[in-house]
Amino acid sequence: KNEVEQSPQNLTAQEGEFITINCSYSVGISALHWLQQHPGGGIVSLFMLSSGKKKHGRLIATINIQEKHSSLHITASHPRDSAVYICAVRLIRYGGSQGNLIFGKGTKLSVKP
Amino acid sequence: DVKVTQSSRYLVKRTGEKVFLECVQDMDHENMFWYRQDPGLGLRLIYFSYDVKMKEKGDIPEGYSVSREKKERFSLILESASTNQTSMYLCASSTPALQNEAFFGQGTRLTVV
């Protein structure tokens, strides 16, 4: 059983649409990351959350610790948002010097003009 | 601007060759990680290091070794490359603190023929 589940796996949207990507996890965590990977490979960290909600431009990330669930929202989507979005959790049991991350399999988003 | 730099974006190697993937970070981070990323499987941890000359096996260490002689450099070694090691390889670094971000390199796409 995967400890981090993302949905959907693939998502196609029209420019301007509101997009939601979901992440559920089954373990105790100290933090949750949302990452973005464009074609070509490099990964960029969008958010790191341990509670509540964060907003950066058109991106909003929320986390519900009790329900072990996080969402990434993109408002007014644009073709340049096309990328793979990856949820990753930092496990409590790997705390201290290890700082290991467990990754979801990613959501491939394609925004059409 | 923080940087994690991988020595190559693309590599093509022959079966049986010894392959070195280099990663350098300029943030004085203690922790460094090597992942491989495959379609449908997401990112999987190969090895990580939490200090110079220290290393720990991740989820899939078979066929790989690592070297960390200096704090800023973490090398992944494929002792005898095989076709099933064709993959995208990503290096990351972080501090030990549980709620600090991880920073990723741009990735190396390795093809073993």
Give me the mean pLDDT over the A75-100 stretch: 80
Question: Is pLDDT above 80 for A22?
Answer: yes
Q: Do B88 and A48 touch (CB under 8 A)?
A: no
Question: Is pLDDT above 70 for A44?
Answer: yes
Query: A41 falls in which pLDDT band (50, 70, 90)?
Result: confident
Q: Are A84 and A36 in contact (CB under 8 A)?
A: yes
Q: What pLDDT is attached to residue B24?
A: 97
Q: What pLDDT is attached to residue A34?
A: 95
> Nearest-CA distance from A26 to chain B in Å?
17
Query: A92 falls in which pLDDT band (50, 70, 90)?
Result: confident
First and final C-alpha spacing in chain B: 36
Q: Do B9 and A105 touch (CB under 8 A)?
A: no
Question: Is pLDDT above 50 for A73?
Answer: yes
Query: A40 falls in which pLDDT band (50, 70, 90)?
Result: confident
Q: What pLDDT is attached to residue A96?
A: 40
> Would an 8 Å CB–CB cutoff place B94 in contact with chain A?
yes
Q: Could you say which residues of chain B have pLDDT below 50?
A: none
- Select from B40, B88, B100 the Cβ nearest to the Cβ of A41: B88
Mutate to test the interface with B, among A51, A92, A98, A107 (most CBs of B within 10 A): A98
Give me the mean pLDDT over the A81-110 stretch: 81
Q: What pLDDT is attached to residue A98?
A: 43
Q: What pLDDT is attached to residue A104?
A: 92
> Nearest-CA distance from B15 to chain A in Å?
24
Q: Do B30 and A97 touch (CB under 8 A)?
A: yes
Query: A97 falls in which pLDDT band (50, 70, 90)?
Result: very low
Cα separation, A60 vs A57, whole angstroms: 8
Q: Are B58 and B47 in contact (CB under 8 A)?
A: yes
Say how far residue B77 (Cα) sits from the centre of its chain: 9
> Would an 8 Å CB–CB cutoff place A100 in contact with chain B?
yes
Collect all residues of chain B within an 8 Å Cβ-Cβ radius of residue A98.
31, 48, 50, 56, 96
Q: What pLDDT is attached to residue B67?
A: 97
Q: What pLDDT is attached to residue A82?
A: 96
Q: What pLDDT is attached to residue A95?
A: 46
Beta bridge partners of A22: A7, A71
Q: What pLDDT is attached to residue B63?
A: 96
- What is the per-residue pLDDT across A99-110, written as a single tens digit (0 to 9) for each? 578 899 999 999
Collect all residues of chain B within an 8 Å Cβ-Cβ radius of residue A41.
9, 88, 90, 106-109
Query: A94 falls in which pLDDT band (50, 70, 90)?
Result: low
> Would an 8 Å CB–CB cutoff place B104 in contact with chain A?
yes
Question: Is pLDDT above 90 for A54?
Answer: yes
State the DSSP string of A34-67.
EEEE-TTS-EEEEEEESSEEEEETTEEEEEETTT
